[in-house]
Chains A and B, each alone.
Chain A
Amino acid sequence: MGYGPQWRTESECMKQRFTPNDVGSVVATLQPAPSTAEELVMYSNASGDTNPLHLKLEFAKKAGFDNLVVHGMLGMAHMGRLLTSHFPAAAIASFLVRFSAVILVGEQVNYQATLEECGNEFYRLALVATTTTGGVVMKGEATIRITEPTFPT
């Protein structure tokens, strides 16, 4: 399995190098366009998650929401884009989020990563996503490998 070449290619994309002085700094932000109903249909088809909360406005309204509910995993995927826009995908060692509130179609969400720890082998990032009204929709953390791992070739 040829992991080597992909890693080298991706490694060249590593845009961020941090020092312990950067701990506490916001190191990445992402503001994707607010999700649309069409986007939720696309995500349902691509992910297999066809819960009607994401697809049927009537159902979402009966469940007490003012609009379609964005898949939690689509929000996490946007947080994933925040990571992959700054680090190679192969450098991500772990990625965790806790969902604390739903995102509705049309809501602008800001995704942000803060450097929590700058070790010799890993960066640890604190992740948060907030709506423009300041509500936290998810919090989490990710660890990023700094040294190149050796994969079997």
Chain B
Amino acid sequence: MISRALIGLSLPTFQVTVDAERVRLFAQAIGETNPDYFNGIVPPTFLKAIDGENNSSRRILELLDVELTNVLHVEQQFDYFAPVHVGDCITVNRKVIDIHDKRDGALEFIVIESLFSNVSDQLLGRAKQWVMVRNGARKVNA
């Protein structure tokens, strides 16, 4: 079981400048052909690529001492308050906001929140990621 004392764990704040080339590659990878996304507002799920830039979910799961082969990304939510544009400098705050379990602990759920703000400290977006840990699951041998 993951220690519930880790609920509230905040990761160090970091900043990312939204790089035009990175957004272009992302748009290409997802099949987005609208050129608005190459120099305008980033595609809706690009925020997930920003929050993994540092304090990746993988790093957070390591801090929680979770076996990576037993985890599944089961749910993802975004709330958008104002658009994120190419060239924006975004401050990212990530935090473990909940850990709970189902089926007598066979399944544990970790909820990670990411807050995205601009240089004026305006909150542009919020992401929540639900990760499911299968305790006692058969280990996958790499």
Which of A10, A72, A92, A95 gathers most chain B CB within 10 Å? A95
Docked CA distance A42–B77 (Å): 23
Q: How far is the CB of A61 from chain B (nearest CB, A)?
A: 10
User: Are A47 and B26 closer than 8 Å at their CB atoms?
Assistant: yes
Give the nearest-CB partner of B82 in chain A: A151
Given A94-B77, A97-B76, residue A81 in contact with residue B31 (CB < 8 A): yes
How many B residues have CB within 8 A of the partner chain? 43
Task: Check: B105 CB closer than 8 A to any chain A CB.
Answer: no
User: Are A42 and B82 closer than 8 Å at their CB atoms?
Assistant: no
Chain B contacts for A94, CB-based, 8 A = 77-80
Q: Which of A10, A48, A62, A92 contacts B56 (CB 8 A)?
A: A48
Chain A contacts for B77, CB-based, 8 A = 94-96
User: Are A45 and B73 closer than 8 Å at their CB atoms?
Assistant: no
Docked CA distance A49–B56 (Å): 9
User: Are B49 and A76 closer than 8 Å at their CB atoms?
Assistant: no
User: Are B75 and A77 closer than 8 Å at their CB atoms?
Assistant: no
Q: How far is the CB of A40 from chain B (nearest CB, A)?
A: 9
User: Are B75 and A97 closer than 8 Å at their CB atoms?
Assistant: yes
Task: Check: B48 CB closer than 8 A to any chain A CB.
Answer: yes
Docked CA distance A77–B43 (Å): 8
User: Are A78 and B140 closer than 8 Å at their CB atoms?
Assistant: no
Over the window 70-111 of chain B, the binary record of Cβ atoms lying under 8 Å from chain A Cβ atoms (1 yes, 0 no) is: 001111111110110100100000000000000000000000
User: Are A46 and B26 closer than 8 Å at their CB atoms?
Assistant: yes
Q: Find residues 103-140 in chain B having any chain A CB closer than 8 Å to their own CB.
A: 118, 120, 122, 140
Chain A contact surface mostly: helix
User: Are A59 and B45 closer than 8 Å at their CB atoms?
Assistant: no
Task: Check: A83 CB closer than 8 A to any chain B CB.
Answer: yes
Task: Check: A106 CB closer than 8 A to any chain B CB.
Answer: no
Task: Check: B67 CB closer than 8 A to any chain A CB.
Answer: no
Give the nearest-CB partner of A151 in chain B: B82
Q: How far is the CB of B35 from chain A (nearest CB, A)?
A: 12
Chain A contacts for B75, CB-based, 8 A = 96-99
Task: Check: A32 CB closer than 8 A to any chain B CB.
Answer: yes
Q: How far is the CB of B91 from chain A (nearest CB, A)?
A: 14
Over the window 69-89 of chain A, the binary record of Cβ atoms lying under 8 Å from chain B Cβ atoms (1 yes, 0 no) is: 000111011101101110001
Give the nearest-CB partner of B68 in chain A: A51
Given A90-B83, A94-B78, A94-B80, residue A6 in contact with residue B40 (CB < 8 A): yes
The 22 listed contacts between A and B (C-beta, < 8 Å) are: A1-B85, A3-B85, A6-B83, A9-B36, A10-B36, A10-B41, A42-B28, A43-B26, A43-B29, A45-B25, A47-B29, A47-B49, A72-B76, A73-B45, A73-B76, A77-B30, A80-B30, A80-B43, A81-B32, A83-B44, A96-B77, A96-B78
For the complex of A and B, 3 pairs with smallest distance between CB atoms: A77-B30, A42-B29, A46-B26
